[in-house]
Amino acid sequence: MTIKGLEEEKFRQILAAHLTPSQPISSPEHLKGREHMLTQISRSFNSPGKHIFIHGDRGVGKTSLAQTAATLRQSSDAEPILVGCSNPSFLAIVRDAVKRCLPVGDGVLQRKRETKLKAGIAGFGVELTRSIAAGNVPDVESVNDAVQLLKFVAEYHSTQPVIILDEFDQLTDDGERKLCAQMIKEVSDQRVNVKFIICGIGSSLVDLIGSHLSTGRYLAPYSLDRLTHDARWDILTSAATAMGVEIGHSFRVRIGQISDGFPSYIHLIGEQILWNMFDDETETSACAQTHFNEGVRQAVSEAQPTLKAIYEKATQKYSNDYEEILWALADQHLMRRQTTDIYDKSYLRIMGERSSSDHPILSKPIFSQRLNSLKSARHGEIIVGTGAGWYEFRENIVRGFVRLKAESMGIEIGVEGYG
């Protein structure tokens, strides 16, 4: 409407192609800042019997990396198989993966599979092959059963199948994780033509799967960190350029700082800013301060309900001074900070901008008490203490939401350098 040369339908198409805060990315041209890792994963896949394990913070982009890497590896005759790990039984998860390979939409692929059905897949026979293809997947009672069914997937699904096991951290039982380790070993040792990408929240592969197998032999671990600033800016520049508009450098820098390197925040803020530019009554070709401010406010409203709930449980108490304490902790680039540093370098500055009769400045002892109480269940355990007055957020993605919330209230935090 007010972006020159863009009708709303075209605007919506471009926006949805470049900014997807609620959906993982699966194409390399839109996965910014992960090019080197995609190359390394491709090389790991080239090693026979090698599978991929991606780990890192919640919200850092593990599923997007997994889906993009899977898309590049998966042969063109089918889509990668994506399975969540919400089921507490790992063998049931394998059964789910087999069932996911069964729907067939492509006509050519359907004819190829019909040929397999007539002859039967080796090790299954004609009747069992047809029964499984019809959706009657037998229960999986052992690792051997799982491997046998994965041989069916290798023959029936596509030339080069890839299976993504997402949210592996939800599989909390150590015995179930051990079954996964055993299955990966058997799939590799028996040369089954299936590649796995496993994703989970954790600081290391051992955290998630334990020391049940020689990780260097069967699983290539990839630790995913937050996006670099260049990658954060590239997401915004790519979307704006496709629309023929500009999001200026200072705005890109600020969005990158608010996001704390978590891609979903960049996508969300960018999406809302561009909508505000489109809705402007006058024709616009560049992001203005009003577009930025309103975009940030709307991004808070559109953010994940779970993040808002965590924030509200921590701050909405009889005392209304917890917000500024959280903002102070989220200031600067260090994840882990000491009480004195938080108070002197961040809290006092924030309160200098915000202090009023409704928001009096706390003394340092009271501040320390309030900060320490944020570790409690009453405040949702939003932060953790690491000894001698050191604190950090329990989940780093919450820190990004705290920054977003502060910005929407007119307080800039996390502005030092590009850190």
Query: What would the DSSP string read from start to end of 122-158?
Result: TTTHHHHHHHHHTT-PPP--SHHHHHHHHHHHHHHT-
Phi, psi values for residue 261, rounded to 5°: 90, 5
Domain made up of 34-102+137-223: CATH architecture:
3-Layer(aba) Sandwich (3.40)
pLDDT band at 23 (very low <50, low <70, confident <90, very high): very high
The whole-number pLDDT of residue 402 equals 97
Stated pTM of the model: 0.91
By the 10 Å C-beta count (0-12 exposed, 13-18 middle, 19+ buried), 30 is classed as: middle
* 51, 73 Cβ separation under 8 angstroms: no
The ranges of the chain annotated as CATH 1.10.10 are 306-397
pLDDT band at 122 (very low <50, low <70, confident <90, very high): low
pLDDT by residue (tens digit) across 125-152?
566 666 777 777 888 899 999 999 999 8
* 61, 263 Cβ separation under 8 angstroms: yes
Phi, psi values for residue 18, rounded to 5°: -105, -30
> At residue 268, does pLDDT exceed 60?
yes
Phi, psi values for residue 202, rounded to 5°: 170, 160
The ranges of the chain annotated as CATH 3.40.50.300 are 34-102+137-223
What topology does CATH give the domain 306-397?
Arc Repressor Mutant, subunit A (1.10.10)
Mean local confidence (pLDDT), 223-248: 97
Q: Closest Cα partner for 67 from 57, 77, 52, 47?
A: 52
Mean pLDDT in the chain?
90
The Cα 400–Cα 396 span in angstroms is: 7
The residues pairing with 210 across neighbouring beta strands, listed in sequence order, are: none
> At residue 10, does pLDDT exceed 60?
yes
The whole-number pLDDT of residue 195 equals 98
pLDDT by residue (tens digit) across 341-379?
999 999 999 999 986 767 889 999 999 999 999 999 999
The Cα 232–Cα 255 span in angstroms is: 8
Mean local confidence (pLDDT), 157-175: 94
The Cα 367–Cα 404 span in angstroms is: 22
The sign of the dihedral angle between the CA atoms of 60, 63, 66, 67 is: negative
pLDDT band at 318 (very low <50, low <70, confident <90, very high): confident
* 276, 297 Cβ separation under 8 angstroms: no
The Cα 113–Cα 152 span in angstroms is: 12
The Cα 191–Cα 186 span in angstroms is: 8
The whole-number pLDDT of residue 211 equals 65
> At residue 108, does pLDDT exceed 50?
no
Of 175-179, 244-248, 405-409, the one with minimum mean pLDDT is 175-179
pLDDT band at 107 (very low <50, low <70, confident <90, very high): very low
Lookup: tokens for 151: 């041989």
Mean local confidence (pLDDT), 194-223: 84
Of 96-100, 116-120, 404-408, the one with minimum mean pLDDT is 116-120
> At residue 105, does pLDDT exceed 90?
no
The whole-number pLDDT of residue 129 equals 64
Mean local confidence (pLDDT), 71-92: 94
pLDDT band at 418 (very low <50, low <70, confident <90, very high): low
The whole-number pLDDT of residue 212 equals 59
The whole-number pLDDT of residue 415 equals 87
% of the chain residues with pLDDT over 90: 77
pLDDT band at 119 (very low <50, low <70, confident <90, very high): very low
The Cα 310–Cα 243 span in angstroms is: 35
